[in-house]
Amino acid sequence: MQQVTGTHDSPFNVYSYGGIIWHLMQYSTPFIFLFVVDAFRAMDPALEEGKPHVRRFDASDILENYARPDAARHHQCLILSLMRGVESFEFPVIFGTPGNIYMLTTEIYRSINSRGTPEYQYATALAFVAMALMFLLLLSRRGCCAGAAM
């Protein structure tokens, strides 16, 4: 590492919020790709090739004009990512514990297993918060899909 960066310090600390977010993004990307790939397959290939007879769009025009019919699908991708982030346990416990970073799931685990006396009431309250958040996300998905069906 010293030959590349000139220092003994790591350029990126995986035991930080950034490291946890990086791993969660890597974990969610394949699922999001599977949801969004059909919208991009439906695009006109001439836009990518830059044919002179086709007006070139910037990225926001392409996303707005070609991905708008799949807006419900994109909303579902966002909800899926949020749900996977809330329910994730392994990355926060592996990469967050050394840096004293506790997320919702790891705090529930820690309140039961890492203290002298288990704090079941505290863990139950946190689990209820997670369940309520998931319920709100599901309601959000339902409202999005109902609006897209009209």
Alpha helices in the chain (DSSP H): 2-5, 17-41, 46-49, 59-67, 71-87, 90-91, 104-113, 120-149
Tens of pLDDT along 48-89? 665 555 555 555 665 565 555 566 666 777 777 778 878 888
> What total of structural domains would you count in the chain?
1
Task: Say how far apart CA 120 and CA 131 lie, in whole Å.
Answer: 16
Q: Give the percent of the chain with pLDDT over 90.
A: 13
Per the rule left: phi > 0, alpha: psi between -120 and 50, beta: everything else, 119 is beta
Instruction: Write down the pTM of the prediction.
Output: 0.62
Q: Which domain holds residue 52?
A: 2-149
Alpha-carbon distances, residue 103 vs 78, 100, 130 (angstroms): 19, 10, 11
